[in-house]
Every structure is written in C-alpha cells, then in structure tokens.
C-alpha cells in the first residue's frame, strides 16, 4: 500500500522534479508534458463520471429509468478501471525505460485488448455512422469528447519520444481514444440523445443576422407595449 504523509517538499521550486528512479529533470521537458497530459486525461474521465452520475433517471410519470441505472453501472466500472490504468501509465511514463523497477505495475496486452472487446460490445447496439460527429452534447457527452481530444494529444506527445516508451503503452493510448469515442456514442444511444452531426456547407445556416434582427424587432415591440 502507498502511504503519503507529506505532499509539499519544495524540491520543485527551482523548476525541476524527480522521476521514479530519482533522476532530476526540468519540468519543461517533453517527458513531463507527457506525464501531465496523462494526468489531465484521468481528471477529465473523473469529470465525465460526475456528469454520468447526474443523468436524469426518472420518467415523466415519476418512475425510474432502468436503462440509465444499467448504463451507469457499466460506465462506473469501465471508467474507474481505466482511471487506475492511466495512473499506472503515468507512473511508467515518469520513469526512464531502462530504469523501470520490477515491482511497477505496467499496462499489459490484456488491458489493451479489453478496450477492443468493450468497443465491439458497445458497437453492436449502435447504428452505422453516416456523417462526422461534432464534439458537443449534454454534460457526459461533451466531457468525453474533450477527453478524447486530450488523449490524442497525449498520443502525439508520446510518439514524439517513442524510442523511450514501450510500444504496448503507445498501442494502449491509441486504442483508448477510439474507446472513448465509442463509449460516447453508446451513452448517447442509451439515453436517447441525438448525436450532433457535421453539416456540409451547402446545407448550413450561414448567418444568424436575420434571426438576430427579428429578435431585436420583437423585443422593441414588447418594450413599446
């Protein structure tokens, strides 16, 4: 078990920090950017969990929506597991490849394969995509879309130092962004929320000027009453 009795040490006041093996490096180095981004992803998944807990589980007639409870059960289990895996990954990323201690828990092939298995299970319920999905929606949907984009940033940064990272860790992060995307679609489907789709330019409303003017005119008429 981990036992932490003191958080502040002052050791980083000069802009340096220690890796797992005790090596001191600048906080501005790419490795620390990678570690920080991994932590950022984890926090966003925690935020998504909070939003999932807030999904309305009551019918208009006052009854409970059992499908919401089932969705929450799956999401709590899956996201909590991935949060722990990201914590393991962050510890690995904070250690030079040649200095990873034997006791350290590492992402393994089973962890990576589980992401694919879950994606396949969720996809069975989903209609095929007919357009690109815009990153917006209700609380859990929008939060997971943001998490997905940060995972892609984590992946890009990791590939910038790929010679210093295990290939399996890179594979895991690549699959994780797809996993979050499919999970987002699955949640939308389960709660009956329409996905926001990209609209080709020829079909878009190109300006809101006319509707704004109508509102302003209506406001003027109300003020004159």
DSSP assignments along 135-203, one per residue: S--SHHHHHHHHHHHHHHHHHHHHHTTGGGS-HHHHHHHHHHHHHHHHHHHHHHHHHTPPP-B---GGG
Residues of the chain with pLDDT under 50: 4-5, 62-63
Across all residues in the chain, what is the average pLDDT?
86
**151 found inside a domain:** yes
* pLDDT computed for residue 57 by the predictor: 75
Per-residue pLDDT at 209: 85
User: Three-state DSSP class for 41?
Assistant: helix
Spatial contact of 182 and 136, defined as CB atoms under 8 Å apart = no
* pLDDT, position 179: 98
Give the count of domains, the chain: 1
User: Residue 193 has which token pair?
Assistant: 């929320």
2 domain residue, yes or no? no
Would 154 be classed as within a structural domain? yes
* Residue 81: domain span: 22-200
Neighbours of 85 (CB within 10 A): 20
Q: Report pLDDT for 26.
A: 57
**pLDDT at position 211, please?**
82
Task: Kindly give the residue spans of alpha helices, DSSP state H, lying in 9-130.
Answer: 30-53, 66-93, 109-123
In a domain, 206, yes or no: no
Residue 7 lies in a domain: no
Specify if 57 maps to a domain.
yes
pLDDT value at residue 62: 47
- Whether 16 maps to a domain, the answer reads no
Residue 1 lies in a domain: no
CATH number of the domain within which 58 lies: 1.20.1200.10
In this prediction the pTM is 0.84
């Amino acid at each position: 078990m981990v036992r932490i009795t003191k958080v502040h040490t002052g050791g980083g006041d000069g802009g340096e920090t220690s890796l797992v093996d005790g090596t001191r490096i600048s906080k501005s180095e790419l490795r620390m950017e990678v570690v920080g981004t991994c932590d950022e992803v984890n926090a966003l998944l925690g935020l998504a969990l909070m939003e999932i807990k807030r999904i309305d589980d009551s019918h208009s007639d006052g009854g409970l929506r059992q499908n919401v409870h089932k969705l929450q059960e799956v999401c709590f289990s899956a996201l909590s597991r991935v949060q722990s895996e990201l914590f393991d990954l962050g510890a690995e990323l904070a250690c030079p490849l040649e200095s990873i201690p034997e006791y350290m828990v590492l992402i393994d092939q089973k962890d990576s394969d589980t992401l694919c298995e879950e994606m396949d299970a969720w996809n069975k319920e989903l209609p095929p995509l007919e357009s690109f999905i815009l990153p917006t929606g209700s609380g859990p949907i929008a939060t997971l879309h943001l998490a997905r984009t940060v995972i892609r940033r984590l992946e890009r940064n990791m590939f910038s130092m790929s010679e210093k990272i295990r290939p399996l860790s890179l594979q895991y992060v690549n699959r994780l962004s797809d996993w979050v995307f499919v999970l987002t679609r699955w949640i939308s489907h389960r709660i009956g929320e329409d996905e926001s789709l990209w609209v080709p330019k020829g079909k878009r409303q190109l300006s809101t000027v006319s509707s704004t003017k109508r509102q302003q005119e209506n406001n003027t008429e109300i003020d004159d009453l």
